[in-house]
Structure 1
Amino acid sequence: MQELRANAPMPDQPLKLLVIGLNYAPDFIGIPKYTTELCEELARRGHEVTVVTAPPYYPAWEVPAAYRGAWRAETLNGIRLIRAPLYVPKNPGGLTRLLHHLSFAATSLPAAVWCALTKRPDIVLTVAPSFMSAPAALIAAKLSGARSWLHIQDFEVDAAFELGMLKGERARRWAERLERTLLLGFDRVSTISASMRRLLLRKGVKDEAALEIRNWVDIDTVTAWPSSNTSYREALNIPADHAVALYSGNMAGKQGLEALADMAARLEAQSTKVTLLLCGQGPLKGMLEAACSERNNVRFMDLQPIEKLPELLATADIHLLPQRAEAADLVLPSKLTGMLASGRPVVAMADAGTGLAIEVEGCGLIVPPGDSEAMAHAVTILAQDSELRLELGAAARRRAEDAWRMSSVIDRFEASAREVLSDQTLVASAARAHSL
């Protein structure tokens, strides 16, 4: 019989998890959506989940008045939350982002330790960003005898230097050494795509410890509506004979959104019957609004409530997924899941062979990163060919159903969590550490 650690649950018994993550509901764009849905689904399945997180602030980069102040505890949809205060910059840049993450690393540590000692979790899971929360997770796991698990949504160290948010070869070498040390300290390290898992292996994570745990989409909620004739078109005064090219999400540096303004100008100059719908918030929104102020073919909207997401996605005839080349294989945009599930083709900026290009192939058109002319050409092709849009959109929906189904992904997470608890190598290692 395989040996289990002393306080580990038997197979099929509920698990106890402590989750440390910078972002959580009511934030719902990007990473917080997946952390929240994972925790709530695990709780629905009978597991005990406690979360250490920050107050809501993203993507507006402002903490609501009701959440300002010291640490606070609350219960949200059955999940016990400890919210740790942090510094939130009004204009996030390289240094201010660093201080932002450092502040959460400092304030989340005592909360994580307290939860670990009082809750005695089986697994301490931390989500990156923020990678700076990794030490808190390792300390909490060590003190409580729990397994440690790091889930990487973005390789933020690489991205910060590749995108110019942080600079300096010496600083990069130091950051990469620290990253490697922390990565190798976890019992499991997971990430969201095959190409990102390969990067984990290149960083020294052992094959048996590196997992691919994808993001997901609720394919029963986000469906392939039969028509894009939604209420948004009328409210925004979009011409009936125009195709809608939609970008919805965070408006920040790594998305490469600068190309959208130039693309809008090209489409208008060519009298292409396309309206760009740009929905979201973030540091670059003001720049985009200024650059498109004279364009008649662009509409802007703030982020929409999560319950309106299916209708918003269905408003699109074409989805836009810009991305800077430097971010290739360091991130896989979380918004892709909803795009595919909505049954619409995607025009994505990606180099051939990258993780994003592989995911979109057969479901849309790929153009070089930063090439607004190529993106405008791809949008024009799709706008003028309804049969091609339907063909690629149907393929996108099938891919969402096959590869991004929420229940299947969380089944894999749950099974992997039980595996790490019964890992003989880890049991032996823990026993040796206990005897020292």
Structure 2
Amino acid sequence: MKILFYGINFAPELTGIGKYTGEMAQWFAEQGHDVRVITALPYYPAWKVSENYKNAYVTEQWKDVTIYRTPLWVPEQPSGLKRLIHLASFAFLSIPTLLKQWSWKPDVVWVVEPPLMCAPAAVTFAKMVGAKSWLHVQDYEVNAAFDMGLIKAKWLRGFVESCERWLMRCFDRVSSISGQMVKLAQQKGIDKSKIISFPNWVDISAIEPLNDISPYRAELGISEDTIVALYSGNMGGKQGLEILAETAQIIEQKGIVNIQFVFCGNGAGRANLEAGCAGLKNVLFLDLQPFERLGELLGLADIHLLPQRTDAADLVMPSKLTGMLASGKTVLATATIDTELGHVVAEEAKCGLIVAPEESDEMAEAIIKLSNDSDSRFIFGNNGRQYAESKLDKNTILRKFEQDLVRVL
């Protein structure tokens, strides 16, 4: 097959959509498919174009994949309006590159949301060249933008959502990453026969439970008997990171000295998180670590912290959860049981505990409880690893997606 992947994020970005799209493109190239990618220059989650690139049109070869990179405007401090302009700049400036694929004539044009702004050009181009069009929803950005207050003009919501529903119905297939997000696509009027479940995955051979103590403990000066509560990933607006600082403050105020928080990542929310943790002795910050060390980093945790805002429930599914499960360590998430995240953690995978979103007292008590219960941590971690092996294996998920592509053709 000739497959054209189209989206703003791609490798070498280490988190979120860029990580998954990069792994997917590489996997399909390894299976012998002809793969091209239209994407932006690497900028996420630092919100700054990588110093290895000029902000210009670039063509490169990567792991048997042809990548066409498009310039874009990247705001240093993204706000609601600035994000819209940022996404629009990529959607507009990538159109010439999209049109250049005319003579290549892909079989499938696969576009990821966000940004939905790329969808009109993608579906139009696919129809013009006789290709199938596929929209994959990682985040429902329209719902999230209004629900989280990124766009404050509420009078616009009805019109924007109508446009979104019409646009989604134009695609031959629509997929998303969780059961609740698939249901939301149905609620938006997408024919059930068009909707595919396409969850995020994890390379269970690359991330495994460590047989020995993570080398990060020695590097960070953390003793073997200290409980590490780790947050690792993008530090953005949907995570509700303020609860991490509040929780660390509560535990330090209680005089508990055997719990160490490690916050690893970059993004627009890091500065505020650092400010909230100023003066705390039980918090360490790290930049995003090399992908090759991801298994060692995740193995550092005794407890993985997975905060999520109430207003983001079921509009996004945290992509970092897959690595947490594969690492074989306990997960503590802020969610309610009626959300997809809460259901997976507490009932389906049985890999940890959930506490109410934005309730730092509850999170602190849960961390203390888990820190004193090594047996439960072992059981939760083992359950998570088994779930990753049975439900989240990269090769299994991508093989099924490959079969779905063949069927749509």
TM range (shorter): over 0.9
Give me the identity figure in percent. Answer: 46
Counterpart residue number, 1:363: 351
Q: Where does structure 1 differ by over 6 angstroms across 4 or more consecutive aligned residues?
A: none
The 8 Å contact of residues 149 and 187 in structure 1, kept in 2 or not, is answered as yes
Counterpart residue number, 1:10: none
- For the aligned residue pairs, the C-alpha RMSD in angstroms reads 1.0
Counterpart residue number, 2:103: 118
Counterpart residue number, 2:332: 347
By how many angstroms is 1:69 displaced? 3.5
Equivalent positions of 1:248-263 (< 5 A) are 248-263=232-247
Q: What is the distance in 1 between the residues matched to 2:190 and 2:35? A: 27
By how many angstroms is 1:65 displaced? 4.1
Equivalent positions of 1:208-357 (< 5 A) are 208-227=193-212, 229-272=213-256, 273-357=258-342
The 8 Å contact of residues 174 and 195 in structure 2, kept in 1 or not, is answered as yes
SS at match of 2:233: strand
By how many angstroms is 1:400 displaced? 0.4
The 8 Å contact of residues 55 and 72 in structure 2, kept in 1 or not, is answered as no
2:389 aligned with 1:404: no
Write out per-residue CA displacement over residues 214-272 of structure 1, whole angstroms, 9 at most, x where no aligned residue: 11000011001134x22211221223321000000111111000001110011112233
Matched AA of 1:252: G
The 8 Å contact of residues 146 and 154 in structure 2, kept in 1 or not, is answered as no
Matched AA of 1:393: G
SS at match of 2:224: coil
2:402 aligned with 1:418: no
Counterpart residue number, 1:389: 377
Q: What is the distance in 1 between the residues matched to 2:165 and 2:35? A: 28
Q: What is the distance in 1 between the residues matched to 2:9 and 2:329? A: 29
Write out per-residue CA displacement over residues 181-218 of structure 1, whole angstroms, 9 at most, x where no aligned residue: 11000000000011100000000111110111011000
Q: What is the distance in 1 between the residues matched to 2:269 and 2:55? A: 28
Q: TM-score, normalised by structure 1?
A: 0.91
Q: TM-score, normalised by structure 2?
A: 0.97
By how many angstroms is 1:68 displaced? 2.1
By how many angstroms is 1:168 displaced? 2.1
Q: What is the distance in 1 between the residues matched to 2:134 and 2:253? A: 52
The one of 133, 140, 145 aligned to 1:148: 133
Q: What is the distance in 2 between the residues matched to 1:226 and 1:372? A: 33
Q: What is the distance in 1 between the residues matched to 2:127 and 2:184? A: 26
Counterpart residue number, 2:120: 135
Q: What is the distance in 2 between the residues matched to 1:100 and 1:278? A: 27
The 8 Å contact of residues 113 and 136 in structure 1, kept in 2 or not, is answered as no
2:368 aligned with 1:380: yes
2:74 aligned with 1:88: yes
The 8 Å contact of residues 113 and 139 in structure 1, kept in 2 or not, is answered as no
Rg (Cα) greater in structure: 1
Q: What is the distance in 1 between the residues matched to 2:387 and 2:290? A: 25
Q: What is the distance in 2 between the residues matched to 1:406 and 1:64? A: 28
Matched AA of 1:271: G
By how many angstroms is 1:409 displaced? 0.5
SS at match of 2:265: strand
Unaligned runs of 5+ in 1: 1-14, 422-436
The 8 Å contact of residues 18 and 51 in structure 1, kept in 2 or not, is answered as yes
Q: What is the distance in 1 between the residues matched to 2:14 and 2:219? A: 24
* Residues matched between the structures, number: 405
Q: What is the distance in 1 between the residues matched to 2:291 and 2:47? A: 18
Write out per-residue CA displacement over residues 125-158 of structure 1, whole angstroms, 9 at most, x where no aligned residue: 0011111110121122012100000001000110
Matched AA of 1:59: P
SS at match of 1:190: strand
Counterpart residue number, 1:428: none
Matched AA of 2:82: T
Q: What is the distance in 1 between the residues matched to 2:27 and 2:52? A: 27
The one of 50, 71, 77 aligned to 1:64: 50
By how many angstroms is 1:64 displaced? 2.6
Counterpart residue number, 1:429: none
